[in-house]
Amino acid sequence: MNERKIEIRENEPLAPLTTFEVGGPARYCVRIVCEEDAAAALSFAGEKGCETLILGGGSNVLISDEGFPGLVLLNRITGITVEESGGSVLVTAGGGENWQEFVDLCVARGWQGLECLAGIPGTVGASPIQNIGAYGQEASQAIAEVRCLEIATGEAVTFDAEECSFRYRESIFNTRHAGRYLVTSVTFRLLPGGAPVVKYRELAERLAGISLPTPADVRDAVIAIRAGKGVLVRTGFESFRSAGSFFKNPVLPRARFAEIEALLSEAGKAENWAWPLPGGDVKVSAAYLIQSAGFARGHYRGNVGISPHHTLILINRGGATAREIVEFAGEVRQRVLDRFGVALLPEARMIGFASPPFGCDREE
Q: Which residues are catalytic?
A: 169, 245, 347
State the helix-helix crossing angle for 254-265 and 322-340, rounded to 10 degrees.
90
Q: What's the rounded Cα separation, in Å, for the pair 115 and 221?
A: 10
Q: Minimal CA–CA distance to 325: which of 310, 333, 315? A: 315
Q: How many contiguous H segments (helices) and E segments (strands) does the chain have?
A: 7, 21
What is the rounded distance in angstroms from the CA atom of residue 340 to the CA atom of residue 73? 40
Q: Is 204 exposed, middle or buried (0-12, 13-18, 19+ CB in 10 A)?
A: middle
Determine which helix (DSSP H) or strand (DSSP E) holds 149, and give its type and residue range. Answer: strand 143-150
**String of DSSP letters for 91-122:** EEEETTSBHHHHHHHHHHTTEESSGGGTT--S
Chain-centre distance for alpha carbon 87 = 30
Coil/strand/helix, residue 309: coil
CB 89 within 8 A of CB 194: no
3-state secondary structure 218-255: HHHHHHHHHHHCCECCCCCCCECEEEEECECCCEECHH
Q: How far apart are CA 143 and CA 140, in angstroms?
A: 5
Q: How many angstroms separate the CA atoms of 26 and 18, rounded?
A: 13
Q: Which of 162, 132, 10, 149 is nearest to 71 (CA)?
A: 10
